[in-house]
A and B are shown apart, each in its own frame.
Chain A
């Protein structure tokens, strides 16, 4: 089973080794988020999800379980989907963070986003940000996925509204557009 966090760990060698001891009070943290360098003050214990939603005011990333079990908080680190509740902001280092707010190009939605709207692949919308990020990442690494590929890509996501069939349909349709 594909677990988004373990994907990250497998793909990214541990960064700089021993970090200096900091905290517990807030420290400045430099992050590259959606193509912009941002310096935030955050306590070292804060997760990336908390930092995005709090000091960075990027509330599109959602926290639903806060322990890596539902993938609602999925963002990209260097293009790979990860659970942002399972990594500290201070651990991110130089890796590029992409959130749901950074997926569209200006007013032009990513094909996955448009396909989600067209196929009604969202209901309450709370899992949607994470789901969109995982499906968009899938298309980046596999432009022609089949149903199994989509299922694997979203297998760590929980949607209580039951959008999975429409998410799968939307992703397959977006792949066609993406390819064209």
Chain B
């Protein structure tokens, strides 16, 4: 924390722009830039500039990891377990190793090493081959002989919880969790296949339920969703005597560098991680992963660059997934709607991994004095889950927001009116107001009131997501003597458009156009950038970008002030010129000022300061801002009660992300969140065969994701919410945009047909079963 004399007092715009802006006064570090005015007063930030890499992506020139070829490069393939649970008794690689073109074979599940001899899911890596071509590697892979001793297995969560179920892990092999609580809390007990509970308590729920006039409760379940990034997980590892270079389709170059340094005992300075274009991650490309370790080890052994990318089937089985969940929610309320108690019990499965909770919506979204939550992970013999767009809160909201709607109906209160009473957020209040107007909420009828077989309905739901910030985030801004400007950071653009936003941020400060700024990112040779997960990228990297640009500008002002015979404080930068405030006719072009530089290049590196009002919580490199991110979504559906088919006709998504930096790119993000949520609600389901443990739909045709035909009209409204917390006051959007969609659709389906569907996905069979027209299939 800065000392008092290093602070200055500043007044920031504060509040919701559409409601009316006020101000807030903050103490800020003396070397931070002055407050940024609201978007309405800015030239570049808040405008929808196109992506700097757009041209490369529409012409095929963009270089993804799968497109990289290095001289002498070899190709790796992974042999994967065909057994859901087995001990490798012996593995014979002699024939494979002699196959023409093979350079190295790596045994991963070694019979000699009890810690690695057990495979726990179909698709678990057993061995890997590197060869001069993909086909040679694939042929050699077929020549590896594995002798498995089959072990009892379980791939269904209910069976795994039963007494006497086959055990997936023991204390020694079960994943440990993490002190942060994410993906799962550390130090929890293991009973059979059940790890937990992770308990959170507030007040006294027993007393709270005793005070309640009305109690609603329900059980909700969600299926496993896979990430389905269009670019597969991919890496090109190049181990050399003087250091390791890795090209990787990753959401976090800085983090992968740390993992590599630690696991291969290398100094950080000898590990370089690079990603240029990156074909989607959604949480699944957050870390090095087993395939990353394999490629690096093979490159080390073979003494050549090694390329490894997963095939679609491997993606579906062993590249992470959103865990399946079951939750029981019970909510008590007074007649006026005020909540008296919420209890939550959940069981979820991330396969052999942990982190299958249902998040913090129930605990934190609404005002309620008494809360008790008990969340459990259940191990099954399936590929490990991992973070996926709004982990925890997305399945959590599916249960909570339907239960709140059910409570509203029991109390005979409109769902929006009930939320007015129990939701303390001023931002969501505005979001509900705007969204209700857009969707035409007054048209909403009684549940199931439509005559005829196709019934329409309106529903809404809310979301809550922490405003995450990565403290270990830094950014360099350079100005060259020829006037060229560069912004550099290892932060990666996974499709969100952070490169555009960085160019806008720097351009705004220097009085230039975004296309005059060269964005160089995705390389750990540049200052360490944040991950592209947790909706934290914009919040973490735009403040240091503005700070670095502002400090560079002060330096340019000093040169310009000498030339213009004025004081630096009298200067401002706009439209490519540096001018005297009182007499803008006196000035120099940006290029003229740059030409006066004493050296070829001036450069400033700035790092992320703490939020000006401090953080709510901080752990290692990560911190949580004081205010949460919200979002309210409305859905209009048509349900065919004869076929069971749900069609989402329209979604209105009203979201907030602090200061919106680029409205069109935000709209793109919200489209992505809504469509992934719609797909989760209606289609997606990883199906494991109970008898073999095999995923039966490990592709993109039987694993159904929403396509153009299923895309509704999506209205995106972004609330400008200023808080005066950083040099840009910008926060994230990607995950909050996903959380409310499935429950909004579910509430709309209820409004259409008058029957509540408590399991995802809401397939035609599930809808017909809910209507009592066909038996329920499990």
Which residues of A pack against B, CB within 8 Å? 1, 43, 53, 57-67, 69-70, 72, 99-101, 103-104, 109, 113-114, 116-120, 122-129, 132, 150-151, 154-168
Contacts and interface: CB of A to CB of B under 8 A. Distances in A.
Q: Which of A1, A70, A151, A168 has the most CB of B within 10 A?
A: A70
Interface residues of B, number: 56
A120 B711 CA distance: 17
Contacts of A128: 57-58
A103 B57 CA distance: 13
Interface string B688-727: 0000000000011100010111010010000000000000
Given A64-B231, A64-B232, A125-B53, A162 B675 contact: yes
Given A103-B59, A126-B279, A164-B671, A117 B54 contact: yes
B714 A69 contact: no
Given A64-B230, A120-B50, A166 B279 contact: no
B60 A99 contact: yes
B654 interface: no
Contacts of A70: 230, 700
Contacts of A159: 230
B497 interface: yes
Contact of A124 (B67, B69, B280, B664): B280
Nearest to B227: A160
A142 B371 CA distance: 59
B494 A124 contact: yes
A126 B280 contact: yes
Interface in B632-685: 664-665, 667-669, 671-676
A168 B665 contact: no
Contact of B57 (A119, A122, A156, A157): A122
Given A129-B60, A160-B280, A118 B50 contact: yes
A161 B58 contact: no
A138 to B, nearest CB: 12
Contacts of B59: 60, 100-101, 103-104, 109, 113
Q: Which of A69, A124, A163 has the most CB of B within 10 A?
A: A124
12 contacts: A64-B231, A100-B60, A117-B50, A118-B50, A120-B667, A124-B231, A155-B708, A157-B708, A160-B280, A160-B282, A164-B671, A166-B668
Interface in B43-64: 48, 50-51, 53-64
Contacts of B674: 162
A158 B705 contact: yes
Contact of A117 (B51, B668, B671, B709): B51
A126 B282 CA distance: 14
A117 B48 CA distance: 11
Given A43-B135, A64-B312, A157 B48 contact: no
Nearest to B229: A160
| Pairs A-B, 7 closest by C-beta atoms | A60-B60, A124-B495, A126-B279, A125-B57, A162-B672, A100-B60, A123-B495
Interface string B220-232: 0000000111111
B352 interface: no
B705 A125 contact: no
A113 B711 CA distance: 22
B496 interface: yes
Interface of B: 48, 50-51, 53-64, 66-67, 69, 135, 227-232, 277-280, 282, 311-312, 494-497, 664-665, 667-669, 671-676, 699-701, 705, 707-709, 711, 714
B676 A162 contact: yes
Contacts of B494: 124
Contacts of B699: 65, 67, 69
Q: Which of A109, A123, A129, A132 has the most CB of B within 10 A?
A: A123
A154 B58 contact: no
Contact of A160 (B63, B228, B312): B228
Contacts of B232: 64
Nearest to A72: B230
Contacts of B667: 120, 166
B707 A161 contact: no
Contacts of A160: 227-230, 280, 282, 672, 676, 705
Contacts of A129: 60
Contact of A113 (B58, B229, B279): B58
Q: Which of A53, A118, A159 has the most CB of B within 10 A?
A: A159
Given A65-B312, A69-B699, A123 B58 contact: no
Contacts of B50: 117-118, 120
B533 to A, nearest CB: 14
Contact of B665 (A120, A127, A165): A120
B672 A126 contact: no
Contact of B67 (A59, A109, A164): A59
Contacts of A109: 55, 58-59
A118 B51 CA distance: 9
B231 A122 contact: no
Contacts of B707: 155-158, 164
B708 A151 contact: yes
Nearest to B709: A155
Q: Which of A65, A118, A160, A167 has the most CB of B within 10 A?
A: A160
Contacts of A162: 668, 671-676
A161 B668 contact: yes
Q: Which of A63, A157, A166, A168 has the most CB of B within 10 A?
A: A63
Contact of A120 (B51, B135, B282, B709): B51
A103 B673 CA distance: 31
A115 B482 CA distance: 32
Contacts of A58: 60
Nearest to B493: A124
A166 B60 contact: no
Contacts of B53: 125
Contacts of B665: 120
A164 B61 CA distance: 22
A57 B67 CA distance: 9
Contacts of B58: 100, 109, 113-114, 116-117, 122, 128, 132
Contacts of A113: 55, 58-59
A127 B230 contact: yes
Contacts of A64: 230-232, 312, 700
A116 B708 contact: no
A69 to B, nearest CB: 4
A154 B708 CA distance: 7
Contacts of B60: 58-61, 99-101, 129
Contacts of A116: 54, 58
Contacts of A158: 228, 230, 700, 705, 707
Contacts of A99: 60
Nearest to B62: A125
Contacts of B54: 116-117, 120, 122
Contacts of A161: 230, 280, 495, 668, 672
A160 B232 CA distance: 12
Contact of A125 (B277, B673, B700): B277
Given A120-B54, A161-B672, 4 more contacts: A58-B60, A99-B60, A117-B58, A124-B278
A156 B348 CA distance: 33
A53 B496 CA distance: 26
A156 B705 CA distance: 11
Contacts of B67: 53, 59
Contact of B231 (A62, A104, A114, A117): A62
A164 B672 CA distance: 9
A140 B227 CA distance: 34
B711 A62 contact: no
Contacts of B61: 60, 101
B280 A69 contact: no
Contacts of A165: 671, 711, 714
Contacts of A157: 707-708
Contacts of B495: 122-125, 161
Contacts of B55: 109, 113, 117
Contacts of A118: 50
